[in-house]
Structure formats: C-alpha cells, structure tokens
C-alpha cells in the first residue's frame, strides 16, 4: 500500500511527478492524490515555461547575454536557473528583470556589494503573484575557494547583510571573520543577522488548505512569523480569525496592511513592522511559519515553549526538515492544490 509518506519523501528528494505516475493506477486515496500531484506539476511546469520565455525575451531585448537556460529544474518548483558570464552580467540582468516586476532577494551596497561581486556565484530575483517565480542568475565564481579553510573564511550572505565595513576593509574580511567565529564559539558574541530568510510567498491556492489542516476557525488568533505581503493574514481574516503578522521589511509590512485594508478586513488584522524573533505568542491559537528549514529548526524550541495548550504550529516547505530536529512534528501532510504543492509539518500543544 502506497502512503503519502512516500510522496512526501519524493517531494524532498526529487521529482514527485515521477512518483505520482507510478501511483495513478493504485486504487483509493493515493490515486486521487497522485492525480492531483500530476495536475499541480503540470500547472507549475506550464507557468515556469511561460516565465522562462518571458524572462529570456526581456533579456534579449535589453541585450543581456544568457549562456544557457537549462530546463532541468524540478517540475514541482517554480525555480528557473539562467547561466550568465559573470557578476556584472547578473546585475545587469537583475535590473532588467526588476523592471519586469521581479524583486531582488537581497541588496547590498558599498563594500559589501563589492565583496559579493567578488565572492558570490549567484543572484536571485523573485516575482510573487498568484504563483511564485524564482529566477536564479548563476555564474562561475572568479575566486572559487579551493580549500576547506578558504571556504570557511569566505564571507557569507549573512556577513554581507550584517557587517558594515568600509570598501577597503572588505579585503581583510577573512581576519574579521576569524574573530567573529571565535567570539561566537566562546559565547562573547551572538550571530546578529536579523533576517530569518528572504521573501518568498506561499502560493495563494495553498493558503486555505494549510489553514484547514490546523482547523483555523472564526475567533482563532493566527500569527504569521514573517508575514511578507500579508496573503496568509488575509486568508485567515476572511474566515473570521484575528490575524497578526510580524514583518521586518517595512515595504512588505506596508504592502500587507494595504492588502487587508483593500480587502475590507483591516479591522481583524495587525501587521507589526519589526523583528519576529522572541515575540510573545501566548495569545496565539495558530502560528504559521514559512521560512527555510534550518531557520525553522532553530526557532522551534522557543516558539513551542511560548505556545499555550491547544495551540498549533504549522511550518511548510518543500525541503526536508533537518536531521536531529527536536521535537519532531506531530503530523506531516502533503498539501496539493490545482497549481502548487508543499509539505506541511504540524506541532500540536
């Protein structure tokens, strides 16, 4: 008997559409699920194919050369990889795509940006409508680190985001990094990157299925940790919940407020601009988290200890949660809509 566990595993490790194909002939629920998965994968593939054509046309018109646009991305994800010559071509492509409605996943200025251009190998832009499209602009890193030590000393995204160094001093960054690592190891300094992850929206068609999983009903208080453009808050408020979102990016927080005001449900929604780490969740019935899995693992113990009995926490992601995660989720569900799919992990207090 085929279980949804098998399908969830395939979401994590590979092309779930292939697994679904094996299941369509199986009777009962797995076959229904398999058909839904195939339809969702078809919709995702159609969308990303359309986006690929659109993006390539924009870049061609602007004279930005793209070396290749391999069509090998997993069918279940809205991610498209374009290979470009170098960092400056990627930046040029990014500017063109921003004009076409994409948003850069991260921005740096001054020395951090120079360091990024020297050390990084990819740049990502995202467009979040009903469906999400992620475009990864990838190039061969000039200063590819050869040894393990060189890799450890290379600045990370968190470093570019948190360290304010004059341009010249970025050259001596390896020394700063060693000091940071030592200070963190001996507890003199804590990692200060306030970002829990970039903005990537939950596909609209998955919002209600996810809220159904945790029985979100009228009167419940739903908290979204990193609420982005407020789409989950809107879906929760539309079913009569009180919705509270924390968002550190003021532009997104404002977009979320505007969204619920436009929908006429602003009175049931509060959007707080600021850092969601360490916020009190004692009033929450449901906490929603859509963040990278390593971040979820890190936040989990604190989030769960602040939850009152009966409250539920739901985290969704297509990637597997890290090994050694504690506590393990009480439930795992594959969530499929006509246009998207994800895996939801639920903890119940």
Ligand X SMILES: C[S@@+](CC[C@H](N)C(=O)[O-])C[C@H]1O[C@@H](n2cnc3c(N)ncnc32)[C@H](O)[C@@H]1O
Contact range with ligand X by CB under 6 A, out of 7-15, 226-234, 235-243, 258-266: 226-234
Complex with ligand X: residue 19 or 289, whichever CB lies closer = 289
Complex with ligand X: residue 111 or 226, whichever CB lies closer = 226
Complex with ligand X: residue 92 or 202, whichever CB lies closer = 202
User: Least distance (Å) from ligand X to the CB of residue 146?
Assistant: 33
Spatial contact of 142 and 118, defined as CB atoms under 8 Å apart:
yes
User: Least distance (Å) from ligand X to the CB of residue 61?
Assistant: 30
Instruction: Give yes or no for residue 153 binding ligand X (CB under 6 A).
Output: no
User: Least distance (Å) from ligand X to the CB of residue 302?
Assistant: 13
Residues that bind ligand X (rule: CB under 6 A) add up to a total of: 24
Contact range with ligand X by CB under 6 A, out of 21-29, 42-50, 219-227, 319-327: 219-227
Among 66, 68, 2, residue whose Cα is nearest residue 34: 2
Residue ranges in 288-307 that form contacts with ligand X under rule CB under 6 A? 290-291
Contact range with ligand X by CB under 6 A, out of 73-81, 168-176, 184-192, 200-208: 200-208
Please state whether 167 falls in left (phi above 0), alpha (psi between -120 and 50) or beta: alpha
Complex with ligand X: residue 224 or 285, whichever CB lies closer = 224
Among 133, 131, 49, 62, residue whose Cα is nearest residue 99: 62
How far is it, in rounded angstroms, from Cα 231 to Cα 342? 16
Indicate which single residue of 54, 83, 117, 275 sits in contact with ligand X (rule: CB under 6 A): 275
Residue ranges in 55-114 that form contacts with ligand X under rule CB under 6 A? none
Complex with ligand X: residue 73 or 234, whichever CB lies closer = 234
User: Least distance (Å) from ligand X to the CB of residue 198?
Assistant: 6
Q: Which two tokens stand for residue 37?
A: 């998965």
Instruction: Determine the residue with CB nearest ligand X.
Output: 226
User: Least distance (Å) from ligand X to the CB of residue 199?
Assistant: 4
How far is it, in rounded angstroms, from Cα 93 to Cα 20? 36
Residue ranges in 176-195 that form contacts with ligand X under rule CB under 6 A? 194-195
Instruction: Give yes or no for residue 139 binding ligand X (CB under 6 A).
Output: no
Map residues 241-260 to x or -, x wherever contact with ligand X holds by CB under 6 A.
Answer: -----xxxx--x--------
Among 1, 68, 14, residue whose Cα is nearest residue 41: 14
Indicate which single residue of 10, 77, 78, 231 sits in contact with ligand X (rule: CB under 6 A): 231
Binding site for ligand X (CB under 6 A): 194-197, 199-202, 224, 226-228, 231-232, 246-249, 252, 275-277, 290-291
């Amino acid at each position: 008997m085929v279980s949804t566990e098998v399908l969830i595993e395939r979401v994590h490790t590979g092309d779930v559409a292939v697994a679904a194909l094996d299941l369509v002939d199986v009777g009962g629920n797995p076959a229904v699920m398999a058909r839904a998965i195939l339809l969702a994968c078809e919709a995702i593939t159609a969308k990303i194919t359309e986006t690929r054509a659109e993006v390539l046309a924009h870049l061609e018109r602007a004279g930005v050369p793209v070396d290749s646009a391999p069509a090998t991305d997993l069918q279940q994800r809205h991610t498209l990889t374009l290979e470009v010559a170098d960092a400056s071509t990627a930046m040029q492509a990014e500017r063109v795509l921003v004009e076409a409605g994409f948003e850069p996943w991260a921005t740096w200025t001054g020395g951090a940006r120079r360091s990024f251009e020297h050390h990084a190998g990819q740049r990502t832009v995202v467009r979040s409508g009903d469906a999400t499209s992620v475009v990864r602009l990838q190039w061969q890193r000039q200063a590819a680190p050869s040894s393990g030590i060189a890799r450890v000393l290379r600045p990370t995204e968190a470093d570019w985001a948190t360290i304010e160094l004059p341009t010249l001093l970025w050259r001596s960054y390896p020394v700063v990094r060693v000091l940071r690592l030592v200070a963190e190891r001996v507890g003199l300094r804590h990692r200060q990157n306030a970002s829990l992850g970039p903005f990537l929206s939950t596909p609209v068609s998955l919002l209600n299925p996810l809220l159904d999983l945790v029985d979100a009903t009228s009167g419940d208080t739903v908290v979204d940790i990193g609420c982005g453009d407020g789409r989950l808050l809107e879906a929760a408020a539309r079913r009569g919940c009180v919705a509270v979102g924390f968002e550190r990016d003021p532009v997104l927080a404002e977009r979320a407020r505007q969204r619920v005001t436009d929908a006429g449900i602003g009175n049931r929604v509060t959007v707080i601009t600021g850092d969601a780490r360490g916020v009190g969740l004692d009033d929450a019935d449901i906490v929603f988290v859509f963040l990278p899995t390593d971040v979820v693992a890190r936040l989990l113990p604190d989030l769960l200890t602040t939850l009152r009995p009966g409250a539920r926490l739901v985290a969704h992601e297509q990637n597997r949660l890290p090994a050694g995660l504690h506590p393990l989720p009480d439930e795992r569900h594959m969530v499929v809509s006509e246009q998207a799919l994800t895996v939801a992990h639920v903890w119940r207090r």
